[in-house]
Structures are given as C-alpha cells and as structure tokens.
Amino acid sequence: MIKNAPLGTSESILFVVGIVLGGFLLQWVVGYFDFGLLHTPGNFIALGILAALIGAGVYFQDSPFVRWFAGIPMAIALIAALLVFGLFMDLTPQVSRLAPNTNDAVSRLGFRMVTSSWPFVLLYGTTLIALGITSFKRLVRFSRRDIAFLCNHLGLWVLMVSAGLGAADMFRVVMNVERGQTERTVYSADGKSLQLPISVTLKDFVMEEYPPSLTILDHQRGVSQSKEAAEYFQIDTQRTAGRLGDWLITVEEYVHDAVRIGDSYRAYPMPVATPAAKVAARHLRTHETRTGWVCSGGSMPDFISVLVLDERHTLVMTVPEPKRYASSVTILAEGGEPIDAILEVNQPVKVGDWRVYQYGYDTAAGKQSRYSAIELVFDPWLLPAQIGMGIMAAGAILLVWNGAGKRRESK
C-alpha cells in the first residue's frame, strides 16, 4: 500500500509548499505570468505537453512515484493550497491590469492578480497533471462502478483545461454604439485602434422603467427621513395609499410618461417624458394635508417638482429603476450574412464563436441614452468548457443520488 511507499503524505505537503515557494520566487524575479504565451498555438503546445505527461503517468501508473503524485494526499495538499489562493483573491482587491510602475511588495508577490501569479499558475498546472492522471487512469480501466468518480474528476479536468488554456484566446470588449451607427473599431488602454471581424449596427434602443418610489427628505439630517433605514413608498397602481414616516401618502394620479405643462403634468409620448404623481399627504397626528405633483425630472431639470410637507420635510420622487432595456441591432460577422437581433440583458446572441451582449447604456441619460453599450465576447474554448460542466453536472447528480457510498475505514 501507499503507506509503505517511499513517498507519502508529508512529501506531498512538502512538494506543494515547494511549488508555492518556487512560484513566489519566480514571481518576484520575472513578474506576472504572461498569458499571451498561451495564445494559439501556445495553448495547443501546452495541451500537447500536458497530454504527454498524463499519458506517461497513465502508462507508468503502478510506479510508486505516479501513485504518490496522483494519490489522495497530493490531491488534498493541492486543493488546500488552491483554497488559500482563493482566499488571497478575496483579501486583496484584484485588478485586470496593473498600473505602470506598481512596485509594492503585495503586487510583486503576485497578490494583485492572483490568477496570473506564478504560484497559482504552477499549482493550477500541477493540478491539471495530477487530476488528469487520476481521471484517465480510471477511464482506461473503465468500470461501471467508477462512473460517478469519472464524471466528477474528468468533468472538472476538462473544464479546468478549457478555462486555463483558453483564457488567452478569450477576447472581451465593450463598444458604445450610437443610434443609427455601425461600429467595429475598439480602442485599447494605450489608444491603439483595432478592427474587429464583427460589426454591430444599432437600429434602436428602448428602455422600460419601473414606477419610481416616493420618499421623504429631512433637511436637517440631509438624508431620507426615517431614523434607521430609508423608507420608500413604491408607487403601485394596485395599492395607492401607504404610510411614510408620520405621513399617510395617497397617490391620486400617476402618469408614467408625463411632461410638465405649467404647474401640472400630462401624459405625452415624448422622449423626455418621465413619471410624475399627484400626491396627497396627511399628517397622522395633526391631520394637516398637503397636495401636489411630485416628479424627479428625468433628463429635464425643469420637470422637477417636490411637495413641501413642513419646514423640515419634503416629499420627493426617486429616479425610476430600469425594468428592461434592449437594443435592436444588425450584426455582421466576416464572411457571414447580416443577422437582425434584439439584445437584452440575459439574452445574448450567438454568432459563430462570438457572443453579443446588451451591456449597458448612458445611465445619466436613462431612456434618453444616445448610445447602447454592447459587449462582444470571443471564446473558442467555450464548447469544451460546457462539455466539462455537463459531465460535472452528471457527477453532481450522482453524488446527490449515491451519497457517500461504501468505504473502507482505517483502524
């Protein structure tokens, strides 16, 4: 058994600690790992090396070294080390690119971009080899009893290979496309322009908003009126009255697309139209009543109205929250046919290895936004990653079904 083998648990721990220390040293001397090296064909070369190492491991699976390297103690040491690096990611704010001339010890040791730091990359690579040998060893000697084991390990391996080796080939960019314009040029941080093999034309951008809320401002405190937390009255056509602080609020009239005409508001289908409400507020003790229009103004400062309740308190309307926003676009990928599509949050459009997302808009302008921010993501390694996830999902279902199963106990 492995317990009598020359290499055991302490050696596994020492080995992993060695990798981490070596990684830190490398990090200090040469800086962050350059993921550019893994651009195709770099990642295929890396995959070839990985396959050769795993193949050798599977071939020599009975040697004490391979049994130790792909054994449970090594797995535990590797998982624990990766766990610690996961914690580092939470304890230090992560950046996607370091500012030039960043030279503090935290950055030099790799904590600002943990996933690009040498110790993490080396741990990840070692895990790929060990997990690969473990998985393929069982796959070669396939037995039905091993299905759950295989799904959990092989699925994770496929996902980790696709995510790790595919990281460099992935390309993400956000373009602001103005209404009626076609955009295919993006700019890098240093101002260089790049022509994408895909273009997006924005035909229209629409946005629906939720009815806003009402709240009371306290002039002395300069904040929302309630003592503990801000209180809001959500305008709701089903429920027109409610309490807000010491006042009973009744919404007498609500106009979702209103424009101001004198001291009143009317429904009018104009781009600048914004929600307005005629509100009656009655003080719960003094029974004093105030009535008037309230409006947050939208993009028109002239539309703003508030209802003064007393010397200290004013009833105001919040800016409406977006309910749905969508862009009507035409997407043209090189060598393809133009595709008309509606882009919405949670509903990207797939064009070859590209996915096109509704990313955002000019939040200051709201409905009036002149542009739509569209994200383009190119990920040729997505399919293998999805296959890995699918295998893992099957493994997870088997775990739920089988539980711990039968095991041997040490005495």
Partner 1 sequence: MSWGEFPFFAIPAALCWLLAGIGACRHQTGPRACVYIAHSAMVVGLVLFAVFIALFWQTLSRPPLRTMGETRLWYAFFMAGVGYFVWCRWRYAWMLLLSALVASVFIAINLLKPEIHSIALRPALQSFFFIPHVIIYIIAYALFGATTLAACVLLVRRKQGQDSDELLAFIDNIVHVGFGFLALGLLLGAVWAKEAWGHYWSWDPKEALAFVTGAAWLVYIHLRHRGLKSNAVIWALPISFILLLLGWFGTALFPGSSLHLYS
Distances (CA, A) of 387 to 38, 162, 163, 168, 394: 21, 10, 12, 19, 11
The answer to whether 350 contacts partner 1 (rule: CB under 8 A) is: no
The answer to whether 186 contacts partner 1 (rule: CB under 8 A) is: no
Token pair of 282 as six digits: 């009655």
The answer to whether 397 contacts partner 1 (rule: CB under 8 A) is: yes
Token pair of 85 as six digits: 């690096």
List of residues 6+ apart from 178 with CB closer than 8 A: 202, 370, 371
Tell me the residue length of the chain.
Answer: 411
Task: Determine the Cα–Cα distance for residues 202 and 178; give it in Å rounded to an integer.
Answer: 6
Among 26, 53, 75, 387, binds partner 1 (CB under 8 A): 75
Stretch that binds partner 1, among 23-31, 264-272, 304-312, 379-387 (CB under 8 A): 379-387
Is the bond into 322 cis (omega within 30 degrees of 0)? Answer: no
The answer to whether 239 contacts partner 1 (rule: CB under 8 A) is: yes
Site string for partner 1, 92-131 (x = CB under 8 A): xxx-------------------xx----------------
Helix or strand holding residue 322 (H, E): strand 322-333
| Burial call 230-269: b when 16+ CB within 10 Å, e when fewer | ebbbebeeeeeebebbbbbbebeebbbbbbbeeeebeeee
The answer to whether 13 contacts partner 1 (rule: CB under 8 A) is: no
Kindly report the number of other CB atoms within 10 A of residue 163's CB atom.
Answer: 17
Least Å distance, CB 319 to partner 1, is 12
Considering the complex, state which of residue 287 and residue 406 has its C-beta at the smaller distance from partner 1. 406
Amino acid at 309: L
Considering the complex, state which of residue 355 and residue 370 has its C-beta at the smaller distance from partner 1. 355
Considering the complex, state which of residue 135 and residue 259 has its C-beta at the smaller distance from partner 1. 135
Site string for partner 1, 308-327 (x = CB under 8 A): -------------xxxxx--
Stretch that binds partner 1, among 15-23, 44-52, 91-99, 270-278 (CB under 8 A): 91-99
Considering the complex, state which of residue 209 and residue 260 has its C-beta at the smaller distance from partner 1. 209
Among 39, 141, 172, 266, binds partner 1 (CB under 8 A): 172
The answer to whether 182 contacts partner 1 (rule: CB under 8 A) is: no
The answer to whether 10 contacts partner 1 (rule: CB under 8 A) is: no
Token pair of 409 as six digits: 């106990």
Least Å distance, CB 222 to partner 1, is 21
- Return the bridge partners of 316, or none: 215
Residue 158: exposure state from Cβ atoms within 10 A (0-12, 13-18, ≥19): buried
3-state secondary structure of 400: helix
The answer to whether 228 contacts partner 1 (rule: CB under 8 A) is: no
The answer to whether 248 contacts partner 1 (rule: CB under 8 A) is: no
List of residues 6+ apart from 374 with CB closer than 8 A: 174, 175, 176, 177, 183, 200, 202, 327, 329, 343, 356, 357, 358, 359
Contact residues for partner 1 (CB under 8 A)?
72-73, 75-76, 79-80, 82-83, 86-87, 89-94, 114-115, 152, 163, 170, 172, 210, 234, 236, 238-239, 242, 321-325, 344-348, 355, 357, 359, 375, 377, 379, 382, 385, 389, 392-393, 395-405, 407-410
